[in-house]
Amino acid sequence: MNTPRFFAAFGKGDFIKYQGKRLGFWDVIGSGITPYGYIYSLAYQHAVFPDPTIPLFGDCGAWTYRKQDTPTLFQDIVDAQWAIRSYQKRLHPNQETYVTAPDHILFANLSRCQREARREFNWINAHNFFKLAKTQLPHTTPVAVAHGLSISERIRAALDLVELGYKLIGLGGLATIGNVSHALTIIQTVANQLPRSTSLHIFGLCAPRYAKAFAQLPRVYSFDGSTHIREAFQGNFLQTVEDKLVRHRTEKERITIPLCHCYPCRHLKKLGIEPRCCNTRPNNLGRVVHNLKSLVTAQRNAQTNRQILLIAGVAKKLNYKAPAIELYCSPLFKATRRYADATANEFYLLSALHGVVHPQQILEPYECNPYKLSPFQRRAWCNKVINQLRAIAPLGAEFVILGGRQYYAGIIEPLEAAQLYTVTIPLAGLAIGRKLHWLKVNTPSFRQLSLGL
């Protein structure tokens, strides 16, 4: 399976101030599941840039000057030489970098004369940019965009760019189509006509369903998007639920969204930032980082096909040995089991004594309170569980933990480190009553019963 690279957008003022420092998204999002790199636009003067260890993708800013017949930015005429100079000011020689040739977007409502002028602009600047990049930006990968009002025109434009020497071809203007299947048809059709040595970068499509489709297309090398920014400034707090994103509306005066335990939210809390509120710019920017973490996690989940549910054990047990799935007998555990039986293809139990347990494993009744473990016992338990999970799950799998904090604290970060796994905790921060309600409404049999009434 192909693993396309996701470049997350960041704007000119997208940073968080803390103790006199400007922190970019990359400083707050943490390790583990993160974007491959970040994309910026020559249309902005950015206040912060990632360090050289983080890959960068440069966009020429075509969307900003899309309504101009003669493209200009900062009162300068946009052409290949201007773009080269602009990229040189922003790049580090040891950084993995992709740079896009100046292009002009084609729109169907333009006059014939305007469309022809834009086609000529695109070809001339792609030609000149490639030659200049080879000598003046030798450490970068040049990219040119194949525009067209039809699939056949996009194919012709892409093949012309291949003849110029481009190995990475960009496809843009797909986000405005609004039809997922049509956009994917365009990408697939263009990809099928390209030489094997040529790949595609997809501009502006980053939803998990696209990430899943791109993983099935070997020619899609990378893609980008700004969903995390747009949703955050519209007041939406994104939650990852398997391979989907669920919107929660933020409010100015009160917090109505459950506490989130993702790394960015925990880190932002230490900085005095509350992404679940939309009353200040720092809170809004904090929500951008949280949304980005949710987005890349959902993308990863969409690209992998294995999800494993982990159910925490409880204090109330039978007084005789039994299969683990039957040993625990509290109302909360029974509700969790019904949810697992109805939704999970694969699940295990988390025992404070035994670690990861198969549902049919025979257990004797035991007493072990996870809240009373010493720090040493706690670390030993976490290490044991992490090793057990790594033994049963392939890299890239998603673990969904249904249990209290003592059953997931200390294992999330090691599992997500180096982008090995993803972890989702849908019941985090909920009291027992709200957990029971969540399980009830999310167990299919209950939903069907309520609809039948």
Among 230, 251, 280, which residue terminates a domain? 230
Among 177, 203, 230, which residue terminates a domain? 230
Nearest CA among 68, 141, 130, 154 for reference residue 98: 141
Inside any domain, residue 130: yes
CATH no. for residue 31? 3.20.20.105
CATH no. for residue 330? 3.40.470
Query: Packing angle between helix 112-136 and helix 80-90, nearest 10 degrees?
Result: 50
Beta strand ranges found along 25-70 (DSSP E):
37-41, 56-59
Inside any domain, residue 374: yes
Instruction: Evaluate whether 85 touches 137 at the Cβ level (below 8 Å).
Output: no
Nearest CA among 354, 356, 350 for reference residue 364: 354
Q: Which two tokens stand for residue 313?
A: 């054990």
- What pTM value is reported for the model? 0.75
Q: Are residues 215 and 331 in the same domain?
A: no
For 435, counting Cβ atoms within 10 Å of its Cβ (0-12 exposed, 13-18 middle, 19+ buried), the class is buried
Question: Torsions phi, psi of 405, nearest 5?
Answer: -55, -35
Among 215, 230, 245, which residue terminates a domain? 230
Residue 72: give the domain boundaries: 5-230
Q: Looking at the 3D structure of the chain, how many domains does it have?
A: 2
pLDDT by 10s per residue, the chain, length 453: 568 999 999 988 889 988 889 999 999 998 777 899 999 999 999 889 998 999 999 999 999 999 999 999 999 999 999 999 999 998 888 899 999 999 999 999 999 999 999 999 999 999 999 999 999 999 999 999 999 999 999 999 999 999 999 999 999 989 888 788 999 999 999 999 999 899 999 999 999 999 999 988 989 999 999 999 999 999 999 998 878 899 999 998 889 898 888 889 989 999 999 999 988 999 999 999 999 999 998 998 888 767 889 999 999 999 999 999 999 999 999 999 999 888 887 899 999 999 999 988 889 999 999 989 999 999 999 999 999 998 888 777 889 999 988 999 888 888 887 567 888 899 988 899 999 999 998 887 543 333 322
3-state secondary structure (DSSP) of residue 110: coil
